[in-house]
Structure 1
Amino acid sequence: MCSEASVPLIMSSPLPQTDSHVELTLLAGGSFTATANFLHAGAAATPFTMFNWAFHISHPSGRQIVWDVGNTSNPDDYTPWVRQHMFPLGPFAPPEPIEQQIKRRTGVPPEGVDTVIFSHAHWDHCRPIRALFPRATGYFGPGTAEFCGAGHFSATGEELADVPWDGNFFHPEHRTESWEALRGPWKRFGPFERAMDFLGDGTMWVIQAPGHMGGNLACAVRIEGGEWVLLASDCCHSRGLLEGKYDIATWCNPDGSQGALHVDIPAAKDTMAKLRVLRGMGVHLALAHDVSWVEEGTDPVLMGLLDQDLKEWVEEGLKTGRLP
């Protein structure tokens, strides 16, 4: 068991001042079945519905940005590794394709999206976007390509099932996707040392958030009314972990190595501690797989992002299992 009280003192700066804001739209990114023992140390292997959030960000300049793209039920969207290891978990598409959600709720057609930022390269956040958003450029955090290597196009035969990373992004010769690594400049945002003022007016900060995998990102946006929302993606997988009720689960892999949902657990814990600092500064935290705020209805800012369709989607998913 870990405790917030044990977190060391973290230096922080005030949040940026700006009179501008973006429009933030919450999107259903699909779901799949997970078990609690892969999230929380000491938990039973209790199955539950792992929801997946994505976001659309609209800037007054006309920029249209998607943060993560969620998952689908179409095996053709994924690598052989995902099809073999993740599809037994039953990845379920959202009730409406993500590009159609954006068009219905904001009026922005798929060809109007100019940017897709991937919080990281895992299958439930990242997949090829050329067919989804034909005019968009993708962006990853620094170090993502180095971490992922050339992807599955570099493997053949049975080895294909050992390579999770998508060669459509990362193969130097055969990639199909247009993307770039974020280059900064990097400045401090609250407790985080490296953040990028992505739109140049202080309304959207893309943050390097180490721990989960190489190049992992979070994003802070200022919405109408002056509130800040942090799109924390997989920096933390549950509110119980964030609040110190549980510790990060680890397990022994068949080859004897330690497995975990984070490749660098000390760095992930440091990132979680910084999330808690931001929460103490009044920032509203939206974790990619957390729906506790929907169940409790206690955060009016996050609840303001929730339309009736999304609420019903969560309620229906919870019928088949919730995180203990």
Structure 2
Amino acid sequence: MHIGTIAGRSVKRHLTNGSPTDNSPWDGRFFDLSGHASERWQELSGPWEEFGPFPRAFDYFGDGSFYLIDAPGHMPGNLAAVANIKYGDDQTAWVILASDCCHSRKLLMGEEEIASFDGPGGKMCLHEDVDSAKETIARIRTAEVEYGMHVAMAHDDDWMCAATNEVLLSLLLEKGRDDFLGRVREGKAP
């Protein structure tokens, strides 16, 4: 099912009206439904099934190795992924690629709350639906704590700096890994 970008449910309705000239933060040309889109994309429609703490998961390859997870909160249609990977000497583990569902370990573990900040027109947040985001974050935490899954978040480098999670470290290519990790620890661009 490789068609380009895959989006979760409600993305079409949420993003297709945007344009660079109106008040939308989205450029609707990417999602143009009239055939002039800049990218090929499709809204995922299922079939959905339960997977661990996630009520809506899509078995992407149909073999139980990679699931797309309905993970609302950051925006409607937000997706995460869960992959069964091999690491070490023929060991396997589940890794959640949490994308923008959660942005830090402290937030994931409930040590911090979802932040808001002053922006044009008032208070803003990186999550469009804070209640849904909290529920998604709680499910990811449950997947880690109760199911033993490993979590990689889009904007979190704590696991790289600590270099103690063998499973997540296995996601990095061996060639240049030490240089890459050194640069991350120094706060430099990898």
Short-chain TM bin: 0.7 to 0.9
User: How far does residue 145 in structure 1 lie from its aligned partner after superposition?
Assistant: 1.5
Question: Quick one: structure 1 residues 183 and 147, their matched pair in 2 at CA, closer, same or farther if it must change by over 3 Å?
Answer: same
- The answer to whether the 8 A contact 2:29-2:37 is kept is yes
3-state SS in 2 of match to 1:223 = strand
Q: Separation in 2 of the partners of 1:211 and 1:254?
A: 21
- The answer to whether the 8 A contact 1:150-1:172 is kept is no
Of 92, 95, 104, the residue aligned with 1:238 is 104
Unaligned regions of 5+ residues in structure 1, if any? 1-113, 116-135
User: How far does residue 190 in structure 1 lie from its aligned partner after superposition?
Assistant: 0.8
The TM-score with structure 2 as length reference comes to: 0.86
Q: Separation in 1 of the partners of 2:5 and 2:136?
A: 24
1 or 2 for the larger relative contact order (CA 8 Å, sep ≥6)? 1
Matched, 1:180 2:180: no
Q: Separation in 2 of the partners of 1:318 and 1:164?
A: 33
Q: Separation in 2 of the partners of 1:166 and 1:290?
A: 26
Name the Cα RMSD after superposition: 2.2
Within a 5 Å distance, the mapping from 1:176-215 to structure 2 comes to: 176-215=38-77
Question: Quick one: structure 1 residues 310 and 151, their matched pair in 2 at CA, closer, same or farther if it must change by over 3 Å?
Answer: farther
The number of residues matched between the two structures is 182
User: How far does residue 320 in structure 1 lie from its aligned partner after superposition?
Assistant: 4.3
Matched, 1:150 2:17: yes
Q: Separation in 2 of the partners of 1:320 and 1:227?
A: 29
User: How far does residue 246 in structure 1 lie from its aligned partner after superposition?
Assistant: 1.3
| Structure-2 residue corresponding to 1:286 | 152
- Tell me which amino acid in the other structure corresponds to 2:71: A
| Structure-1 residue corresponding to 2:168 | 302
Identical residues among aligned pairs (%): 41
Q: Separation in 2 of the partners of 1:318 and 1:182?
A: 37
- The answer to whether the 8 A contact 1:168-1:176 is kept is yes
The TM-score with structure 1 as length reference comes to: 0.52
Question: Quick one: structure 1 residues 317 and 250, their matched pair in 2 at CA, closer, same or farther if it must change by over 3 Å?
Answer: same
Of 169, 186, 189, the residue aligned with 2:30 is 169
Question: Would you identify which runs of 4 or more consecutive aligned residues in structure 1 move more than 6 Å?
Answer: none
| Structure-2 residue corresponding to 1:272 | 137
Deviations 1:12-49 (A, max 9, x none): xxxxxxxxxxxxxxxxxxxxxxxxxxxxxxxxxxxxxx
| Structure-2 residue corresponding to 1:141 | 8
User: How far does residue 314 in structure 1 lie from its aligned partner after superposition?
Assistant: 4.6
Unaligned regions of 5+ residues in structure 2, if any? none
